[in-house]
Structure 1
Amino acid sequence: MSPWQVFALKYADRNARTRKDSFLFDDNHDQPHEMDYFIWVLRRQDEIILVDTGYDGEEGTRRGRPVRLNPVEALAPLGIEPEAVTTIIVTHLHYDHAGGLKHFPNATIHLQAAEMAFATGPCMCQGAMKAPYTADHVCEAVQRLYSGRVIFHEGDGEVREGLTVHRIGGHSKGLQAVRVLTEAGWMCLASDAAHYYENFLDAKPFPIVVDMQDMLDGFGTIQHLASSIDLVVPGHDPLVRTLFPQHGPDHIFRLDRGPLKGIRS
């Protein structure tokens, strides 16, 4: 199998946070704790696959969480035009992962069936459950369904050779992680199965959780999906920008050749 190139693109951050926003059980809840927002690009020869879309300036303004660089603009240095993207893996439908779907009109999306059912079901009557979702983003996914451009997965599924998805749950009902073959070995793009390295390395749950047992079990699953813990890439950890080399502009980081040093170094 041919390996994939993998890039992490940072498009936003939230620095006015503390550890209580990241960990349910922690002795230093009042200490600052920054968060980065990423999308990921997989490239093999002429094929491009996007993992998540981030959110745009409009959504950032609505939520009071401005973007530093709209994801569409973030893709430009890699030579990627949004109209040319035909496949997107949506790890889950939270606003910061599916908030830019409308900017990729020609894309078919890969989604867990459990996520669509959750985001359109009775749980959305509860304010705490629906807070990370935006109705327009979910409706965009439904529109793709009705136009025949959603491929559903039930648990584990293959997207391409050397590229699979795996339902984790926990943070949302149908959250999925991505396993991708790289030059460095099997890499797991954990997305929000682990917002930070500390979540899965020390079994510290993230506070936004639908099923605690699934979240805790998922910490082990994402490690088993990767060839080593150094190839598990969390969804929001600023350490990614320290561990992996910059690729051109200061918002793009290349992951597929492995980190510059181990997470435990």
Structure 2
Amino acid sequence: MNNCTPKLLRRLESRPISTLKAHPLNARAFDDLTGAAFETLKADIERRGLQHPVDILPDGTIISGHQRVLVGLELGWTEIKCRVRFDLDAAGPDAVALALVNDNVQRRHLSKLQKTRAFLAIRGIENAAQCSGGQLTELLDELGEYIGACQRSARRYVRIIGTPREIQHAFDRGEISINAADKVANLSEVKQRQLADKIRQGGSPKALVTAALPKKPDPHAEDQPLLPVPQITAALEQLAKSRQAGAWTHPRQLKALRRAIDALVAVLV
């Protein structure tokens, strides 16, 4: 007779909601639901009850169900139905992290940027810039396949993940372009934080980002410095070749060149 008792893998039980604690990876990888999305989940749970128990480790660390726990607190619950995952606890931290991320990816409609954050979090990467050339290329290839993007876009998403959440949220809401968000990643940490603070205070992300990014000099502006003689000569030669080839030249370029020539003639005379 076999007297061995099989290992307990999972157990359903009610736990005091105050004893549960969020997994630290959850805040790094995902945002809490807010606004209409949170209210929709709250209304559904209030109407139908908790349809899926919260997965936790034996010590009360939440694996899946962070948003359900927040709803329970909003509704004034003192206890919540849980499924204690002895199997994941025995499998180790990597298995727990994978289960946490996969549950969120499957349950929530995540943007490519949000999927990028989850992808990096599950690999324990906080700063992809610290990866070596070969490692980074491999990482971007895997990420591109994971989120359905080319390597160039994957690189941009990784850079944007390094900006404050306010910038990331503005990008996800379509308030700033991927190009603008990527340029914000080039700003100093202090400037990024100042920008995030202003957005949090209600400022327009598009207007604030546009004002914060360095401006490119307008080559056709009236107040541009005069070109030196060698550049004027080269520009005239290029203009002559363009005219012979029938190429179109912007009137502003012609005007700027004419001003430079006139100023040069005035100096020589």
Q: TM > 0.5 between the two? A: no
- Larger strand percent: 1
- Larger helix percent: 2
Relative contact order higher in (CA < 8 Å, ≥ 6 apart) = 1
Larger radius of gyration: 2
Which TM-score tier does this pair reach, normalised by the shorter chain? Answer: under 0.3
